[in-house]
Amino acid sequence: MSVIKITKNNFEQEVIKSDKPVLLDFWAPWCGPCRMVGPVVDEVAEETINTAKVGKINVDEEPELAEAFNVMSIPTLVVMKEGKVAQSAVGVKPKQAILSMLK
């Protein structure tokens, strides 16, 4: 399994109760920078398949989750560890920077 679509319905199970770090990618289909970082996030998901989870949250479909994380600009990347925000970054990031967020 690679990237998980995160919704308010599966958020607690997939993110809060996860025994691995979770990278959340807040994005929207109309966002140019999101389309640039999307394939990079997919690569990170494949490379960290045994050590982390990667989820994408469409801010148009899940406004409550975007609001809960105070997402003002997209793409926003958030790393959750043990149900808490460990790191976050806004904007397009190189793959190495995203991978280092998960360490």
SS3 state at 69: coil
Two structure tokens written together for 45: 């998901």
Active-site annotation holder among 34, 45, 80, 101: 34
CA distances from 6 to 36, 58, 91, 96, 97 (A): 20, 8, 20, 23, 22
The 8-class DSSP code of residue 14 comes to I
Provide the pLDDT for residue 98.
97
Mean pLDDT for back-to-back runs of 10 residues, the chain (103 residues):
91 96 98 96 95 97 97 97 96 96 93
Provide the pLDDT for residue 49.
93
Report the predicted TM-score, pTM, of the whole model to 2 decimal places: 0.96
Q: Dihedrals φ, ψ of 5, to 5°?
A: -80, 115
**Known active-site residue 81:** no
Find out if CATH 3.40.30.10 is the number for domain 3-101. Answer: yes
Q: Dihedrals φ, ψ of 9, to 5°?
A: -75, -35
Provide the pLDDT for residue 71.
97
**Known active-site residue 11:** no
Provide the pLDDT for residue 2.
84
- Enumerate the domain spans of the chain: 3-101
Active-site annotation holder among 3, 20, 28, 31: 31
